Amino acid sequence: MSFFSGLRGMMSGGKPMISEKWNIPESESDVDAILSAGTHVIYKHSFTCATCMFSKMKVEEVLEENADNARFHFIDVRTNRTISNLIAEKTGIRHESPQAIILKDGKVFDHQSHGSITKKMIEEAII
């Protein structure tokens, strides 16, 4: 997705496409599986936020290059607030958007929000 198509999607109220490599948790059992074992990146996003658009582009760069190193989970906070709140409750990390939470074997390894979400931060956490 290009920068301008992302902006166009935000301005028109539409939702730009997301990579097929994202997992989209939809239930409490999906969240529990994320919190059990392995390396996971949870990314919380709002399609109406410009900061989110830029953060999503950074996370998706890592996703495209490192899909074998971690599972990547996408949470649309506006349409799936219940899952977002459940993750906040179970991890103890207050909800923000955009937000990236990196888990290793069920434990929070790192988390950042807004401009602190960088490609380097995610790569260092999952490699």
* Share above pLDDT 90 across residues of the chain, in percent, rounded to a whole number: 80
What 3-state class would DSSP assign to 70? coil
pLDDT score recorded for residue 14: 54
What 3-state class would DSSP assign to 81? helix
pLDDT score recorded for residue 124: 93
pLDDT digits (tens, 9 = 90+) for 17-73: 788 899 999 999 999 999 999 999 999 999 999 999 999 999 999 999 998 999 999
Q: What is the pTM of this model?
A: 0.86
List the chain domain ranges: 3-126
In this structure, are residues 71 and 102 in contact, taking their beta carbons and an 8 Å threshold?
no
pLDDT digits (tens, 9 = 90+) for 50-60: 999 999 999 99
What 3-state class would DSSP assign to 26? coil
The third-level CATH classification (topology) of the domain covering 3-126 is Glutaredoxin (3.40.30)
